[in-house]
């Protein structure tokens, strides 16, 4: 299989020059002792608008995927760093799934996708890139969203910058 090629998107320069994530929190620094990339973002003291956190609850939060499969790709996860569903408290589990539902409502309201993928990768062999911090993916999908760029150049294109996506989702977030 050919590796995925990258298409230059100039608007991503700020992200790239910040060390791989908002505020210089690098995704591959899991051995630092400072926690997962998500934990480090939470403890960065940066405002949610800078970290692309679109919702905060009591036990969980929702954040844009920094490397989205599609525009509007959101991750929902507990504040507490756990890798397994069964390690969640009852309160964390209940809020996690209600927040996944709210995320689906927000994504549908903001983007009107034809479908959605909702899923969890548990463990590195299952595709969990940050397997020590459980997270649920909510990915909007459209017929043909894997266009010719993906088929011929193995490259994904994204039509809008993350701050714009975050603003749209915050505006579409259901009122509790």
Res. 28 pLDDT band, cuts 50 70 90: very low
Q: Is 158 left (phi over 0), alpha (psi -120 to 50) or beta?
A: beta
Label residue 32 by pLDDT band (50, 70, 90): low
pLDDT at 160: 84
| Start-to-end CA span in the chain (Å) | 45
Give 26's pLDDT tier (boundaries 50, 70, 90).
very low
Statement: residue 52 has pLDDT above 80: yes
**The two structure tokens encoding residue 72:** 């509007």
Alpha helices in the chain (DSSP H): 13-17, 37-42, 48-51, 90-111, 148-153, 162-172
Domain ranges of the chain: 51-172
Residue 19 confidence (pLDDT):
44
Contact 38, 24 (CB under 8 A): no
pLDDT digits (tens, 9 = 90+) for 59-108: 999 999 988 888 999 999 999 999 899 999 999 999 999 999 999 999 99
The residue ranking higher by pLDDT, 14 or 101, is: 101
User: Is residue 26 a contact partner of residue 77, using CB atoms and an 8 Å limit?
Assistant: no
If pLDDT is split at 50, 70 and 90, which confidence band does 175 have? Answer: confident
Exactly one of 55, 73, 135, 137 is catalytic; which is it? 135
pLDDT category, 18, cuts 50, 70, 90?
A: very low
Is 135 annotated in the active site? yes
> Average pLDDT for residues 47-52, to the nearest whole number?
95
Higher pLDDT, 10 or 65: 65
Strand order through the sheet with 53-56: 53-56, 60-64, 74-78, 136-141, 115-120
Count CB neighbours of 29 within 10 A.
Answer: 17
Could you tell me which CATH number the domain at 51-172 has?
3.30.428.10
């Amino acid at each position: 299989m050919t590796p995925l090629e990258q298409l230059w998107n100039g608007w991503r320069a700020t992200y790239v020059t910040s060390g791989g994530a908002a505020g210089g929190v690098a995704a591959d620094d899991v051995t630092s002792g400072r926690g997962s990339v998500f934990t480090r973002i939470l403890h960065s003291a940066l405002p949610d608008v800078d970290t692309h956190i679109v919702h905060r609850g009591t036990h969980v939060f929702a954040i844009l995927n920094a490397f989205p499969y599609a525009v509007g790709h959101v991750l929902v996860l507990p504040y507490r760093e756990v890798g397994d569903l069964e390690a969640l408290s009852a309160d964390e589990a209940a809020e996690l799934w209600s927040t996944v539902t709210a995320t689906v409502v927000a994504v549908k309201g903001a983007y009107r996708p034809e479908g959605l993928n909702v899923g969890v990768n548990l463990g590195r062999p299952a595709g969990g890139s940050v397997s020590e911090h459980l997270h649920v993916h909510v990915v909007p999908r459209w017929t043909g969203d894997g266009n010719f760029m993906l088929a011929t150049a193995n490259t994904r294109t994204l039509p809008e910058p993350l701050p714009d996506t975050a603003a749209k989702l915050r505006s579409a977030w259901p009122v509790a």
